Amino acid sequence: MAEIMTLLTLPEVWIALATLIVMEVVLGIDNLIFISILTNKLPVGQRTRARRIGIGLALVLRLGLLGAVAWIVRLTYPVVTVFGEAFSWKDIILLAGGLFLVWKATKEINHKVDPDPEGDMFTGKAVQATFVATIAQILVLDLVFSVDSIITAVGMTPHVPVMVVAVCVAVGVMLLAADPLAAFIEEHPTVVMLALSFLMMIGMTLIAEGLGFHVPKGYVYAAMAFSAAVEALNLLARRAREKRRAAGGAGH
């Protein structure tokens, strides 16, 4: 307790906390987009529960990893060498997660554009099986995003209490934004494709990071922000056309 009170008096701790909260919220966007797309495939009555479970698992994983910071740091040590390149457990986790995201986004895009889909990868003989499969996929990506998130946090501050507060705030923001974001994605089909393209890009970034190529996240998020701004303009233009069309119809 005394240590926490001491930390509260240090300006650099507050600066680190504010910076880390922003970073964790931004990193959580990837996780939230994935959860929204997956849960929108479920029956309406199960979607909110699945989102809360998925985000709750993200919090549990992050806090659990924070409780093993020394182990997390060791994840960056090389454990295997392939063709002269050393890979750590972090690299392997990022590679696996990136490949999963690319595969997942590709399958979803194919399902969206196929005029005669033979069936969705989520559908099953029982609703419960579909729900469990969805949670399982969320858990896999929660683990990947959690490892990336906590390693980033460890690199920004040595104070575990600061990391815990930042993670809790970021997950709280995810929880508040989950239903509105999922509803927005559901109502706008073009936004679904944009979100899937984001997942594809994030997957490729994770693969690049796993292979040792550092991709500045600022570039990735700048591209995502620009694409989102363009899509927002398209939505406004579409809404304006619909209003003019409705006004023209009423005039006749």
Does the pLDDT value for residue 5 go beyond 60?
no
Cβ atoms of 25 and 173 closer than 8 Å: yes
Q: What is the pLDDT of residues 29-42, one digit of tens each?
A: 777 888 888 888 88
Residue 55 pLDDT exceeds 60: yes
Rounded mean pLDDT of 67-74?
Answer: 70
Any residues with CB less than 8 A from the CB of 142 and at least 6 apart, and which? 31, 54, 57, 58, 61
Q: Extract the runs of DSSP E, i.e. beta strands, from the chain.
A: 78-82, 85-88
Asked whether residue 225 is domain-assigned, the answer is no
Residue 220 lies in a domain: no
Average pLDDT over residues 140-159: 74
Give the pairing of strands 85-88 and 78-82: antiparallel
pLDDT band for position 123 (50/70/90)? very low
Residue 68 maps to a domain: yes
Q: How many domains does the chain have?
A: 1
Query: What local confidence, expressed as pLDDT, does residue 124 receive?
Result: 43
Question: What range defines the domain where residue 170 resides?
Answer: 2-215
Is there a domain that residue 227 lies in?
A: no
For residue 251, being part of any structural domain is answered with no
Sign of the CA dihedral 204, 205, 208, 209? negative
Residue 245: inside a domain? no
Using alpha carbons, select from 56, 30, 65 the residue that is nearest to residue 195. 30
Do residues 75 and 151 touch, judged by C-beta distance below 8 A?
A: yes
User: Does residue 125 register a pLDDT over 50?
Assistant: no
In a domain, residue 37? The reply is: yes
> So what's the pLDDT on residue 122?
43
**Closest among 99, 112, 113 to 206, alpha carbons compared:** 99
Distance of alpha carbon 89 from the chain centroid: 20
Q: Say what the pLDDT of residue 22 is.
A: 78
Supply the pTM of this predicted model: 0.67
Residue 123 lies in a domain: yes
Among 106-115, 150-159, 235-244, the least confident range: 150-159
